[in-house]
Amino acid sequence: MSTTFTLDTSTSRANPTPAPMKRLTIPAIRARKDAGATAEPLVMLTAYTVRMAQLLDPHCDMLLIGDSLGQVIYGLPSTLPVTLDMMCAHGAAVVRGSYHSVVVVDMPFGSYEGSPQQAFASASRVMAETGCAAIKLEGGQAMAETIAFLSARGIPVMAHVGLTPQAVNQLGGYGARGRSQAEYARILDDAKAVADAGAFAMVLEGVVDTLADGVTASVDVPVIGIGASAQCDGQVLVTEDMLGLFERTPRFVKRYGDMAGFVGDAAAAYAADVRARAFPTADQIYVAKRKSDA
């Protein structure tokens, strides 16, 4: 699966058009848990742009347009200022660039917590404008009613429990959760509540490993870990983190590349060529036709 695609900017379609590939479905993702622990862990990465979606899609089961795009793409201090407009624009781009993965779009802060009706209005807009298969929202027991409301109306919901970044002000930071007995029990109850409410899967973020193992064993839907445990039913990372785009690597991230180094080296080589008039060369310029060729 190493075809290189280019983007036809007039249609926003990949070129060549990839061979028709059946897209995975929500029931197929959900069913991976049916035999108890998921035999082959589910693979999920974030994607925000069409080209990244094209590159990641053949390797993933799910692509997530995370509201982490606030920090990664827009340089915002947290996910809190992210808007529905941003999620719709990037979600549509990722759907255009993918053919195989289930595409899940994050609901931004403030777009769903008010009531199940508010959540339905926001989620249905996201699904209609992007073509994604599911939405993700943060919260445990407090969101159970909303998850049931959306699921009963044709909107597949991925829940997000444990460390929930949209609640950073209430939590006081991004540290791992579940270290106290009370918090451990509350997060386990959150996970059971969202599964019982009808979430088809859940992200479990930033919790002690025993809690991650306990949640995975206690619910009958796939648990996708990030900063959790290898025993979860799948894993997700922010793609730019695992590619090494940032200086800081959080503890739960494994770096699979040095994108920052690659980009910096390429930019330095380009700058040196421009300053030395070594770029463009004859290969990169258009030569005027001679009169005799016309």
* 87 sits near ligand KIV (criterion: CB under 6 A): no
Torsion of CA 51, 55, 56, 62, to 10 degrees: 60
Residues 158-217 interacting with ligand KIV (rule: CB under 6 A): 160, 203, 205
CB under 6 A: which stretch of 59-67, 170-178, 191-199, 266-274 binds ligand KIV?
59-67
Measured from the CB atom, the residue of 57 and 205 that comes closer to ligand KIV is 205
Q: How far is the CB of 66 from ligand KIV (least distance, A)?
A: 2
Q: How far is the CB of 71 from ligand KIV (least distance, A)?
A: 9
Residue type at 181?
Q
DSSP 110-170: TSSSS-HHHHHHHHHHHHHHH--SEEEEE-SGGGHHHHHHHHTTT--EEEEEES-GGGHHH
CB under 6 A: which stretch of 26-34, 66-74, 151-159, 184-192 binds ligand KIV?
66-74
Which residue number is nearest to ligand KIV in terms of Cβ?
A: 66
Residues 6+ positions from 137 with CB-CB distance below 8 Å? 106, 107, 112, 119, 143, 146, 147, 157, 158, 159, 160
Residues 35-54 interacting with ligand KIV (rule: CB under 6 A): 46
DSSP 25-93: -HHHHHHTTTTSS-SS-EEEEE--SHHHHHHHGGG-SEEEE-TTHHHHTT--SSSTT--HHHHHHHHHH
What are phi and psi for residue 96, nearest 5 degrees? Answer: -65, -30
From CA 279, how far away is CA 273, in angstroms rounded?
A: 5
Catalytic (active site) residue 205 = yes
Residues 236-255 interacting with ligand KIV (rule: CB under 6 A): 236, 238
From CA 8, how far away is CA 57, in angstroms rounded?
A: 18
Measured from the CB atom, the residue of 46 and 216 that comes closer to ligand KIV is 46
CB under 6 A: which stretch of 12-20, 61-69, 115-123, 151-159 binds ligand KIV?
61-69
Q: How far is the CB of 45 from ligand KIV (least distance, A)?
A: 9
Q: Note the Cα 69 to chain centre separation in Å.
A: 9
Measured from the CB atom, the residue of 212 and 226 that comes closer to ligand KIV is 226
From CA 289, how far away is CA 112, in angstroms rounded?
A: 61
Mask 106-145, x = binds ligand KIV (CB under 6 A)? x---------------------------------------
CB under 6 A: which stretch of 13-21, 63-71, 95-103, 112-120 binds ligand KIV?
63-71
DSSP bridge partners of 13: 8
Tokens 């040095």: give the residue. Answer: 258
Measured from the CB atom, the residue of 7 and 76 that comes closer to ligand KIV is 76
Residues that bind ligand KIV (rule: CB under 6 A) add up to a total of 12
Q: Which residues bind ligand KIV (CB under 6 A)?
A: 46, 64, 66-68, 106, 160, 203, 205, 226, 236, 238
Residues annotated as catalytic are 205
